[in-house]
Amino acid sequence: MTPPAETTAPETTALEAELREIAGSVPDPELPVLSLAELGVLRGLHVLGSGRVEVELTPTYTGCPAVEAMSADVERALREHGVAEVTVRTVLSPPWTTDAITAEGRRKLAEFGIAPPRPGAGASGDGGGPVAVDLAIRCPHCGSTDTTLLSRFSSTACKALRRCASCREPFDHFKELL
């Protein structure tokens, strides 16, 4: 079985909380309306010693090309805040799910014209994996639920392309990954 991969004994110091706030507020390179904290990809931040910080990021998808840009952005943000040495580590376990996107993050996605993923707490029918995308998904432009799937993949691996039958606008849907 997968051993618990949670970071050990997170007795977070005030400095760590402050730095985590800074790292977490870095915008996602591909969805700049969301911060890394809202996307739920910032897994941890540890001060290892004076001026040395380790950050843990998790990719949304294994091949997500944004991870490298995220690492560089986090490193820059922390350096600007006086941290001399930043190490960014990519962690895979436990796998990221769309449930890691915060409520505020979902609201911003919809505002940006991307239908947010539906929450899946306990709703994932057959043991993980993406759920079927044919349940009602609301058009982020006009609010209609009369929308159809155009393509299971869209501008990035994490989105599907849909069209609204009411306002006829196509839109991206951040597809559920649970």
Partner 1 sequence: MSAPRTAVLALGDDALVLSHRLGEWAGNAPVLEEEVALANIALDLLGQARTLLSMAGDEDELAYLREERAFTNVQLVEQPNGDFAHTIARQLYFSTYQELLYERLADGGTGDTELTALAAKAVKEVAYHRDHAEHWTLRLGDGTEVSHSRMRDALDGLWRYTGELFRPVEGLDVDWAGLDEEWARRITTVLERATLTVPGGPRSSPWAAGAGRQGVHTEPFGRMLAEMQHLHRSHPGASW
* Residue placing its CB nearer to partner 1 in the complex, 45 or 96: 96
Identify the residue among 32, 49, 63, 82 touching partner 1 (CB under 8 A): 63
* Phi, psi values for residue 102, rounded to 5°: -75, 165
What CA–CA distance (Å, rounded) separates 139 from 146? 8
Identify the residue among 1, 14, 121, 136 touching partner 1 (CB under 8 A): 1
Identify the residue among 130, 163, 167, 169 touching partner 1 (CB under 8 A): 130
What CA–CA distance (Å, rounded) separates 23 from 32? 14
Q: Which residues contact 1 (CB under 8 A, 6 or more apart)?
A: none
Per-residue x/- mask for partner 1, residues 138 to 167, rule CB under 8 A? ------------xxxxxxxx---x------
CB of 1 to partner 1, least distance (A): 5
CA atoms within 13 A on the CB side of 157: 10
Asked if 72 is part of the footprint of partner 1 (rule: CB under 8 A), the reply reads: no
